[in-house]
Amino acid sequence: EVQLVESGGGLVQPGGSLRLSCAASGFTFSSSWMSWVRQAPGKGLEWVANIKQDGSEKYYVDSVKGRFTISRDNAKNSLYLQMNSLRAEDTAVYYCARDPWGSCFDYWGQGTLVTVSS
Amino acid sequence: DIQMTQSPSSLSASVGDRVTITCRASQGIRNDLGWYQQKPGKAPKRLIYAASSLQSGVPSRFSGSGSGTEFTLTISSLQPEDFATYYCLQHNSYQYSFGQGTKLEIK
């Protein structure tokens, strides 16, 4: 059974940093593109970033470029999102999702809430 | 960037109704489109991939069509458990984008 479990969310002040993790199991993690998707309270879904199987390609939504970094550790079956210079508008539930090449997100985690507030 | 325009933003319908939701892409995306259902407090669930392929386990009352810039999700006969918010997602470009969502409510 495919499982994606996010962690690392919490309350952080504007300008602060946070690192999200996503633990993957039930599939060959090293063979899958992976993505982060977020959803602000009461709002729609927004794709944030994705990363190729070996980490050699990474793409970001314009609003997080230069502030967020996606990475992975295939030995640990884990995906990460390092978030720096956080803003109030980054407040959201952050989901990790498996991102099959040529298809679209088929499995999602349960999400972790990030709140940016003073 | 590819923009996805989804309509309507909300829809009231009754059990048994046939409903259609539309997504329009700002440029051609072949069939690189999926449809998702989301219920409050839950992660999205994939219903359709490659514009018209039904996800395993999803009821056949859900169907998708379209290619290029115009796409539709159709629910042939609404059931009580279908009242939720629906999103399209394009993955044609390296920067993916979702539609704004359609909230389907009980009339």
CB-CB neighbors (< 8 A) of A103 in chain B: 34, 49-50, 91
Q: Strand, helix or coil at A49?
A: strand
Q: Are A110 and B100 inside 8 Å of each other by CB?
A: no
Structure tokens belonging to residue A109? 């985690």
Interface test with A, best of B29, B91, B94, B97 (most A CBs within 10 A): B91
CB-CB neighbors (< 8 A) of B97 in chain A: 47
* DSSP state at residue B79: -
Q: Residue A46 half-sphere exposure, CB side, CA atoms within 13 Å?
A: 19
What are A46-65's pLDDT values in tens digits?
999 999 999 999 999 999 99
Statement: residue B93 has pLDDT above 90: no
Q: Residue A36 half-sphere exposure, CB side, CA atoms within 13 Å?
A: 33
**Cβ pair A19, A8 in contact under 8 A:** yes
Residues 6+ apart with CB under 8 A from B94: A59
- A-B C-beta contacts closer than 8 Å: 55
- What pLDDT does B18 receive? 97
